[in-house]
Amino acid sequence: MGLTVETYASAAEAARALAAAQDARYLGGGTLVMRAVNYGDQSFRRILRATDPALGRIAAQGGRISVGAGVTMAEITESRELGFLAPAARAVGGPAIRSMATVGGNLFAAHPYGDLAAALLALDGRAVLADGREQALDELFAARGRGQQPLVTAVTIARPERGAFRFRKVSRVKPKGVSVMSIAAWLPRSGGRIAGARVAYGAMGPTPRRVPRVEQALEGRTLDAAGVQAAVAAAAEGLDPPEDAIASAWYRRAVAPVHLRRLLLEEDG
Amino acid sequence: MSSQTRVELRKDLFADERDDNLNEIGRPTARQDILGHVTGRSPFFDDHQFDGLLHMRCVRSPHHHARIRRIDIAAAERMPGVRRIILGRDVPHNLNTLLSLIDFGRDDEPLLATGKVSYVGEAVAAVIAETERQARDAVAAVRVDWEVLPHVLDPEEALAPGAPIVNETWPRNVFEYHDKYTHQKLRFGDVERAFARPDVEIVEGRYQMSPIEQAPTETCGAIAAPETNGRYVCHTSTQALFFSLGTTAKLLDMPSSRLHFIGGTVGGGFGGKVDSLHEPLAVLGAILTGAPVKYIWDRAEEMQVGAPRGAERWYLKDAVTRDGRIVARRFRGYFDCGAYTRLSSYAVQKATGHLPGPYTIENVSSDVYCVFTNRTPATAMRGFGITGVDFAIECHMDKVAERVGLDPIELRILNAYRDGDMKAHRRLAKNTALIECCQVAAEKAGWPIRPEFAAMSSLTGGGGDRAAIPETVTDEEGRVDGTPAARPAPRPAAPAPAPAPATASTSARPAAPATRPAAPPATPPAAPPVAPPVSAPAPAAAPAERPQERPAQKPYQPQEPFTRGVKKPGAHRFSSLSGTRRR
């Protein structure tokens, strides 16, 4: 048997077919699935895709923004609505990859990929599943670690206050290098002091993850050398980063405080 | 230093030797093939479209070294889309060595392994199916019963007594040079006498280089298809079209007049596309199916199975006078050629011809082994044979400079060869330029050298005494004489310590004997023959138990074995290249 490609008009139909199948992969932009095909991955025989226009939509919803799972990195960088997210989208691959790679695919991209997903996580991202349920990205990633891969149709994220969202990707080759780590931080401030920070790392675990100790250490602090000291000290606490061809776990732990400090002390955008 | 990136030509240095009018360097020049590349029109082998193209993929060894007890293709043969599964028995002449085309070496490598495999990734069967995916699925369904054998991955360990025999064609685990020696020898002057001089320091070093993958953007591959009149066309990525053609003719036992080979753009070669593994299998596939067949490696195969520049290990020992003259240099080198010879035998000869580097040293001795291990066979890559030993030599020059307290550039200038000097391979040096290179490099780097060194020249001071071939001590170390005797001693036995050259060696290796019986019998007396006779390269180590597939397919044999014609392919008898003929 060869490979078959099945196209569905709605995301819901595709999700039902995916849930019922043992031998299928869902194709978003194809930057991961087609690579697997080209490299002879024998773990699937069917490729499912959906032409649902809702997948490509970017829409404001109250204080939040809904980003369709089929929206590409290139579309994010071109969107006025998502300007704050552009640096994270631009950190993914080169122009060819960005023109195909989707938001939904990035949520399920294995380490060391998933830089955008870390940004979405920091922005209080919630996945909208094909059956209409919503799931916080923390939970989605935890479930992904257990092998669950539901079809996501959109991600809703908070709209950060101007200058309150920061993103930094650390790679050895620029541009287009894969991550040593990426850091996304949403740092709302009240009276100059941080209130309700959300900080997430990419490439520092099997999936993107938040760093609660850093978030707690930032609470009520100011963004100056003294204010970020405790957060920087906690940068790598309790982490067990992966070893790969790019960096050892030791190295990732060692440089995490350096890069976190740089991110926190950079001038407001 | 100037921040400009202008290239400066120093034609003045050799104005009377070269009358060149090179006018390319420093100017923008379009590559000859760039228009095709940037417009997407360069024809690569894989751009050729064929109706009903079939796809070939190989079943590969997961082991470094294993006997093949049985290959069960029954289930794979029945899988959808599978047209044919080729085994070693289908290859008419399933034993070859690349350089047999110029009569150098012995056939030692099957196209598809039969009796045993000797490296991870060695092919034992080739599946032809209608789609690549079907071929992959069928490959996964081929069952091979392996009997894992002990393996050896280090060249010096491969030379140790009791090491597993990697390749039965070479029972000593070394390529035998000139059918006489376990290694390639070079003798020039008498290094041992120089090492024993009271006025020299001995500097030793050990250097090694890992294999390097050529990593072409286009992986190696070929498409073959039946033409009319019993001919087959083959589009290939090869770097060496007629080499691939001759190899195919030999392995498939067919006249080259029935092969129509078409090259094209090589999508990155760097030496990694000369091994001619794809063309014979693709053509055999086209013969057996009557349809066009494509055989191309994926990236993982290119990295694991594709032959790299081989690993090398070098031991250097110098005798240096206090004023920095190197008066003797001894080399011991180990080329890790992997499981089969490919081009490593030649790399060793290139390396030997290069010694002792661009320096004039009056006593040089070298023993370089081309060693078989259970690693991926090594092959050509830019400057192969030279790169590794040059790395060793130049590291060692720095070590010598440090030891005798000389500036490293001045040391190089002092010892550099000059026009008219005798080289260790007994040719006079000409067009030498190391001194000038050093001077210009020092100047550009702002590295001060003393005026007398800045004034030296390659054009003067050479020749005279330096043109003489010294009285040379020879020996029979590593002599084979056709007897399948003991393995070579990896290092000569060191019977007596040197009579104290007034220095301590930092190397882990003991100083070699400096006593001077003209030819110490370094080779151990011929041990009772334990290995099979050298002259019997039983095809792929004649498996004790033949694989017992059900004879669903009869082994392929050419209808008319190629016996007519002027010459059998692959039987040309050049003798000029290596200077030797098979006797």
- Ordered by where they begin, the domains of chain B are 47-149+214-304 (3.90.1170.50)
From A39's Cα to the closest Cα of chain B, the distance in A is 7
Interface contact A22, partner B, CB < 8 A:
no
- pLDDT in the model for residue B367: 98
B80 CB neighbours in chain A (<8 A) are 1
- Chain B residues with beta carbon closer than 8 angstroms to that of A42: 133, 136-137, 140
From the list A2, A3, A40, the residue facing B298 with the nearest CB is: A40
Residues of B in contact with A40 (CB under 8 A): 132-133, 136, 298
Note the pLDDT of residue B525: 40
The owner of tokens 């692959």 is B570
Q: What is the pLDDT of residue A38?
A: 86
Which stretch of A5-14, A116-125, B490-499 has the lowest confidence by average pLDDT?
B490-499
Q: How far does the CA of residue A42 sit from the closest CA of chain B (Å)?
A: 7
Q: What is the ipTM for the molecules in this complex? A: 0.73
- Output the six-digit token pair for B429: 């040096």
Distance in angstroms (rounded) separating the CA atoms of residues A187 and A43: 42
DSSP state of B309: B
Determine the pLDDT at residue B554. Answer: 82
Q: Which two tokens stand for residue B310?
A: 């081989």
What's the per-residue H, E or C state across B424-483?
Answer: CCCCECCCCCHHHHHHHHHHHHCCCCCHHHHCCCCCCCCCHHHHCCCCCCCCCCCECCCC
3-state secondary structure of B275: coil
pLDDT digits (tens, 9 = 90+) for A134-180: 999 999 999 998 888 899 999 999 999 999 999 999 999 888 899 99
Residue A39 near chain B (CB below 8 Å): yes
CB distance from A63 to chain B under 8 Å?
Answer: no
Which of B463, B302, B460, B485 shows the shortest CA–CA distance to B376?
B302
Nearest CA in chain B to A45: B133
- The two beta strands, B326-338 and B221-226, are unpaired
Q: Indicate the DSSP class of residue B501.
A: -
Chain A: residue whose CA lies nearest to B79: A1
Mark yes or no for CB contact B131/A2 under 8 Å: yes
Please give, rounded to a whole number of angstroms, the shortest distance from the CA of B117 to a CA of chain A. 24
Q: What are phi and psi of A264, to 5 degrees?
A: -70, -30
The verdict on A3 touching B (C-beta cutoff 8 Å) is yes
Cα–Cα distance for residue pair B432/B422, rounded to 1 Å: 12
- Chain B CB contacts of A5 below 8 Å: none
Exposed/middle/buried for residue B405 (C-beta within 10 Å: 0-12, 13-18, 19+):
exposed
Inter-chain contact B137–A1, Cβ cutoff 8 Å?
yes
Tokens (6 digits) for B557: 């044999």
Mean pLDDT of A123-132: 96
Structure tokens at B8: 């400066």
Q: Do A39 and B131 touch (CB under 8 A)?
A: no
Residue B205 CB neighbour total at 10 angstroms: 21
User: CB distance from A42 to chain B under 8 Å?
Assistant: yes
Residue B225 · residue B212 · CB < 8 Å: no
* pLDDT reading at A99 higher than 90: yes
CB contact under 8 A, B133 and A3: yes
Strands B184-188 and B364-372: antiparallel
What is the longest distance spanned by two Cα atoms in chain B? 81
Contacts of B134 in chain A (CB under 8 A): 1-2
Contact between chains at A39 and B298 (C-beta distance less than 8 A): yes
pLDDT at position B19 is: 62
Quick one: closest CA in A to B136, which residue? A40
- Whether A40 sits inside 8 A of B140 (CB atoms) is no
B134: nearest CB among A2, A38, A39: A2
Q: What is the mean pLDDT of each run of 10 residues along chain B (583 residues)?
A: 55 66 76 91 95 98 98 97 98 95 92 98 98 95 98 98 97 94 96 97 97 96 96 97 95 95 93 96 98 96 96 98 97 98 96 96 98 97 94 98 96 97 94 94 95 95 95 92 49 39 35 38 40 40 43 75 52 45 39
Closest among B81, B48, B339, B80 to B221, alpha carbons compared: B48
Per-residue model confidence (pLDDT) at position B553: 73
The full 3-state SS of chain A, as one line of letters, equals CCCEEEEECCHHHHHHHHHHCCCEEECCCCCCHHHHHHCCCCCCCEEEEECCHHHHCEEEECCEEEEECCCEHHHHHHCCCCHHHHHHHHCCCCHHHHCCCEHHHHHCCCCCCCHHHHHHHHCCCEEEECCCCEEEHHHHHHHHHCCCCCCEEEEEEECCCCCCEEEEEEECCCCCCCEEEEEEEECCEECCEECCCEEEEECCCCCCEECHHHHHHHCCCCCCCCCCHHHHHCCCCCCCCCCCCCCCHHHHHHHHHHHHHHHHHCCCC
Task: Give B274→chain A minimum CA distance, Å.
Answer: 24
pTM of the model: 0.79
B133:A2 CB<8 A: yes
Average pLDDT, rounded, for chain A:
94
